[in-house]
Amino acid sequence: MKSFIGSVDFFKGNDPEEIAKKYGTPLYVYNEDIVRDRMLRVAGVIRKYPYRANYSCKTNTNLEILKIANSVGVNADAMSEGEMRMLLRAGFSPDRIFYVPNNVSSEEMQFAIDNNIMTSLDSLDQLDRFARLCPGGRCAVRINPGVGAGHHEKVVTAGKKTKFGIAEEDIDGIFETAKKYDLKIVGINQHVGSQYMDPKPFLEAVDNLLRIAMRFNKLEFIDFGGGYGIPYHKLDDEAEYDMEAFSREFTKKLDVFVREYGCAPLFKSEPGRYCVAEGGVLLGRVHALKQNSGVKYVGTDVGMNVLVRPSMYDSWHDIEVISEGKVVERVNGRMEKVTVCGNICESGDVLCRDREMPKIKDEDLICVLDAGAYGYSMCSSYNSRPRPAEVLICSDGSVRLIRRRETYDDMFALYEGC
């Protein structure tokens, strides 16, 4: 693919240079149509049985993105009190929120209890804490199905080497705690990992969870977690995750289970990245070009504080170059090998190393693709750099600021009253 932003008309006819000048850089830009489309895809994965997709909002909690999710009709999961509060503020009713925390305080659990938000406990210890706060209550438990998957060991969230979930051998402990406090375990959930393009590990984990589900009586729901991958190498024509093939295989497994279990509980999944990654790009400005020991460095304002994935997970993001409002074509013979980095005082502050890119000039824009997931939500003000702004290209083509840039006054405000 020559250009993703060109092929999908990401900016809907707006000039990215004008957007960058008006709102400044670095700047997250989202395309409403793409976000809606991906959310609708995940909402339709299972059609034969009662099914709900929960948008895993840790990926992107911008209020406008949450409002889009709400209007599409997907449910949502939250990992923290902050995420629950954001979802409530975006208009999600408590019964559409699933709280999946780990290692949290009684105060945080109490917030979910007070707001009637279904909670999943991910250790026997946390289950006991919940039971003491809410004897006779209803909750779910997170199972560690013993297999994990993902693009990096830091995103594998099941299997023998992670902190998440209750291991199969500890399931009797769940029943003991439930009995002791008259708790009703109404659901089980899992999440095996993130960014898998091959559905095999996920389907294996489905088998495991369904086998484990047979040990629970009258479950109201079974939640299989998220993890569906997106093609981060789209400029090299990487194929999309085959949602239809996945849906067929997934449904076959549910067929077998429903026959044996005698009824179909509500089935759920928890996709995050798939919903929003491709609907977001990150615009940054080139401020320096230099050679160091034979390496050509392109210095930009997209530091690791703005997008941490490349330095945290060695993640690949395709990058397009925009010069005077036009995407610079990737043409053989007119490319050069460069290392693109940010403005943070860390040697790991690198977006990509030794990558063939179209020739870049000072003051050009870089457009980092697939930045809608785990982008802004993981950014920080490291080096005392204010967090970036976010804008939405709405379905009608208008451009709307959906979170202003952090200011130095915002930073100083935290010291007021100290």
Ligand X SMILES: Cc1ncc(COP(=O)(O)O)c(C=O)c1O
Q: Which residues bind ligand X (CB under 6 A)?
A: 56, 59, 77, 100, 157, 191, 194-195, 225-228, 270-274
CA separation for the pair 159, 144 (Å, rounded): 7
Residue 151 falls in which region: left (phi positive, over 0), alpha (psi -120 to 50) or beta: alpha
Q: How far is the CB of 88 from ligand X (least distance, A)?
A: 19
Are the C-beta atoms of 340 and 365 separated by less than 8 Å?
A: no
Whichever of 241 and 257 has its CB closer to ligand X, that residue is 241
Q: Is 139 annotated in the active site? A: no
- The string of DSSP letters for 99-162 reads E--SS--HHHHHHHHHTT-EEEE-SHHHHHHHHHHSTT-EEEEEEE-S--EESSGGG--SSTT-
Whichever of 228 and 232 has its CB closer to ligand X, that residue is 228
Whichever of 16 and 226 has its CB closer to ligand X, that residue is 226
CA separation for the pair 61, 86 (Å, rounded): 7
Helices (H), 44-98: 63-72, 81-89
Whichever of 205 and 321 has its CB closer to ligand X, that residue is 205
Q: How far is the CB of 24 from ligand X (least distance, A)?
A: 28
Whichever of 186 and 298 has its CB closer to ligand X, that residue is 186
139, 263, 275, 345: the catalytic one is 345
Q: How far is the CB of 293 from ligand X (least distance, A)?
A: 38
97 closest CA partner among 68, 62, 126, 66: 66
Kindly state the tokens that stand for 144. Answer: 């560690």
Q: How far is the CB of 185 from ligand X (least distance, A)?
A: 18
Q: How far is the CB of 381 from ligand X (least distance, A)?
A: 23
CA separation for the pair 351, 171 (Å, rounded): 43
Residue 121 falls in which region: left (phi positive, over 0), alpha (psi -120 to 50) or beta: beta
Q: Tell me the residue type at 217.
A: N
Positions annotated as catalytic residues are 345
